Amino acid sequence: MKCPNCNTWNPDDKIVCWRCGFELPKPQPKKQPAVNRVIGGLPIWAWVVLGLLLVVWLAFQCAGPISTG
Ligand SMILES: [Zn+2]
């Protein structure tokens, strides 16, 4: 990284500039933003659960009253 003070290149692990002693900013670790997709105010997993419940509910509807005859 370049020293913001004297514009001299420094290794990334340097804390202060080797030339002017200026304190170098810490390199920002590249962090992946947490993927938190939300649809209609609900996270995707909530929709999956709702979908499963709907399927179960439909299955019960199709089964109808259980005839023991
Ligand atoms: Zn410097």
pLDDT of residue 15: 93
pLDDT of residue 35: 67
pLDDT of residue 45: 92
- Find the 34 Cα to ligand 1 centroid distance in Å: 35
pLDDT of residue 6: 96
Q: Is 8 left (phi over 0), alpha (psi -120 to 50) or beta?
A: beta
- Find the 11 Cα to ligand 1 centroid distance in Å: 12
Give me 30's structure tokens.
Answer: 């590249």
**Domain boundaries in the chain?**
1-26
Give me 59's structure tokens.
Answer: 């299955």
pTM recorded for the entire structure: 0.40
Query: Could you report the per-residue pLDDT of 27-69, keeping only the tens digit for each?
Result: 677 777 766 678 888 889 999 999 999 999 998 887 766 666 5
